Structure 1
């Protein structure tokens, strides 16, 4: 089968590899579409903490079940599905309380023997596979995983009715976190970025305010002026230097920052802004089963406009081009799909 490899830093190629052999509890999925995620870019740049080249890349996918293991009971050949691409040990306190994302032995595509999803076929344990509701297409199915990230961040932030929320970064994760914030009841949604096209997309997806912060040092005051005061919650979807201190500066007393982006290197902030005003910084790691189910239900209900967020549909042979345009933010790219 064809598979897209990050062969080395900034090197993406297509190889022929063997179709995965199923374990008894696994299903084989004929991949219809796979997305290029921001964390895939970290692998592409050789910066990911645990997914290292050479590796079959990808973890956002949808497709059709074409084979099932002998122990599979809830899925059938022909089912249209997506995948929550993580596994836990199943026995630790975190797995037993529904927090697989905390498991010390958490598995994910592209790690160990689990192939990545950007290939013609993908094997996954039955418990990670979800049927797509009637009427949900494969492209919407690809958006379930990144939307679950946004749903989880909103839960961690505790966003509720009437909240003022700032989303820092208008990439796909930031935009989907904004949609999840709106669904949760936030009535003021400000999105920042350095690309006007991404901010236009934020408006099209429901943002009430946008701000281009390119070459602006004191943009935090401008942001607060736009919405008439400080923010209740800030979601950080861009891992750039200094952004945590900037996020704290946006918050009112008692507000909460949730970090979604992957960071490289240290982040510094003014501890007095945190302690003296009882603000909070909360980490956010992937999602739980509840978040994935919620993401599926919300997409099925029409919460996410795929025509805005999906900007490119490429063949496997064009995957290298896809990684480049996402990395360089070329051609007004947001979510780039590789379709099989």
Structure 2
């Protein structure tokens, strides 16, 4: 089958690989759409902590079941599906409590022998395959995974009705977090970015205020001025230097900062502000099954402005163009999908 591979940093090729074997509990999915994630761009640059070239890339997917193992009971051939792309050991305390993202032996596409989703077909254990509504467009279904990240972030932040929320970074994850924060009841939502097109989309997703922080040293003061004080919750969706302390400066005493972004290198931390004002700094990694189910339900409801997120749809033969566009921000990209029709 054809598959999209990052063979070395900044190089994407289409290659021929053998179909992955199918176990008794496995499902083979004909891939219809696979998204390019921000973490895939880290792998593209050779910076990802565990997806290192050469690697068949991708973990966002929508497709159709074409085959399954003899013991599969949850799905059938012809089902439209997506995948929660993580599998735990199934035996540790975290797995037994539904916290697969905490499992020390967690597996994910693009690691070891598990192919990524950017291929003509993708094999996953039936436990992580979720049936989509038959009328859902595959371009929408492929957003299930990144939306689950946004759902998990909002749950980690414990956003309540009436909360004032800041989302720092307006890439796809930050934008989806804005949409879920609105659904959770936040009435004031600030989005920041250095690109105006991202901020325009943030407004579409539910942001009530936006700031282009490019070249602005006083943007923290401006943010507080815009809403008349500090924020209840701040989500960090961009991993630039100094962003964690900036988030701590924005949040109120006793408020919560949640880090979603992938960081490289160390971040400085104003421990006096954290301790003396009893602010909370909470990590956010992937999602749980509950988050994935909620994400699929939200997409099915039509309440998420998916058309604003998906900016480009390319055939797999042009996947290299998609990675370049994302990395260089050519033609105002947000979510780029690769299709295998």
Instruction: Identify the TM-score tier after normalising by the shorter chain.
Output: over 0.9
1:1-340 correspondence to structure 2 within 5 Å: 1-340=1-340
Alpha-carbon distance between aligned partners in 1 of 2:17 and 2:333, rounded to the nearest angstrom: 29
Alpha-carbon distance between aligned partners in 2 of 1:201 and 1:245, rounded to the nearest angstrom: 26
Per-residue CA deviation, residues 206-248 of structure 1 (Å, 9 max, x unaligned), is 1100000001122111011111110000000000000000000
TM-score by length of 1: 0.99
Please give the secondary structure, in 1, of the residue aligned with 2:61.
Answer: strand
Contact 2:84 2:145 in 1 (8 A): yes
Please give the secondary structure, in 2, of the residue aligned with 1:60.
Answer: coil
Alpha-carbon distance between aligned partners in 1 of 2:327 and 2:163, rounded to the nearest angstrom: 32
Per-residue CA deviation, residues 307-329 of structure 1 (Å, 9 max, x unaligned), is 10000000111111101111111
Alpha-carbon distance between aligned partners in 2 of 1:303 and 1:4, rounded to the nearest angstrom: 32
Please give the secondary structure, in 2, of the residue aligned with 1:179.
Answer: helix
Shift of 1:53: 0.5
Alpha-carbon distance between aligned partners in 2 of 1:85 and 1:75, rounded to the nearest angstrom: 16
Alpha-carbon distance between aligned partners in 1 of 2:113 and 2:71, rounded to the nearest angstrom: 20
Per-residue CA deviation, residues 288-310 of structure 1 (Å, 9 max, x unaligned), is 00000000111111121121000
Per-residue CA deviation, residues 143-189 of structure 1 (Å, 9 max, x unaligned), is 01000000000000010100000000000000001111111100000
Alpha-carbon distance between aligned partners in 2 of 1:236 and 1:329, rounded to the nearest angstrom: 20
* Length, aligned pairs only: 340
Find runs of 4+ consecutive structure 1 residues off by over 3 angstroms. none
Alpha-carbon distance between aligned partners in 1 of 2:216 and 2:271, rounded to the nearest angstrom: 23
TM-score by length of 2: 0.99
Shift of 1:74: 1.4
Alpha-carbon distance between aligned partners in 1 of 2:158 and 2:328, rounded to the nearest angstrom: 33
Shift of 1:63: 0.2
Per-residue CA deviation, residues 263-299 of structure 1 (Å, 9 max, x unaligned), is 0001002111111110010000000000000001111
Shift of 1:45: 0.6
Please give the secondary structure, in 1, of the residue aligned with 2:27.
Answer: strand
Mean CA deviation greater in 90-99 or 218-227: 218-227
Alpha-carbon distance between aligned partners in 1 of 2:205 and 2:247, rounded to the nearest angstrom: 22
RMSD: 0.7
Alpha-carbon distance between aligned partners in 2 of 1:224 and 1:328, rounded to the nearest angstrom: 31
Shift of 1:103: 0.2
Contact 2:80 2:134 in 1 (8 A): no
Please give the secondary structure, in 2, of the residue aligned with 1:225.
Answer: helix
Unaligned runs of 5+ in 1: none
Alpha-carbon distance between aligned partners in 1 of 2:99 and 2:23, rounded to the nearest angstrom: 24
Alpha-carbon distance between aligned partners in 1 of 2:127 and 2:204, rounded to the nearest angstrom: 35
Alpha-carbon distance between aligned partners in 1 of 2:321 and 2:217, rounded to the nearest angstrom: 33
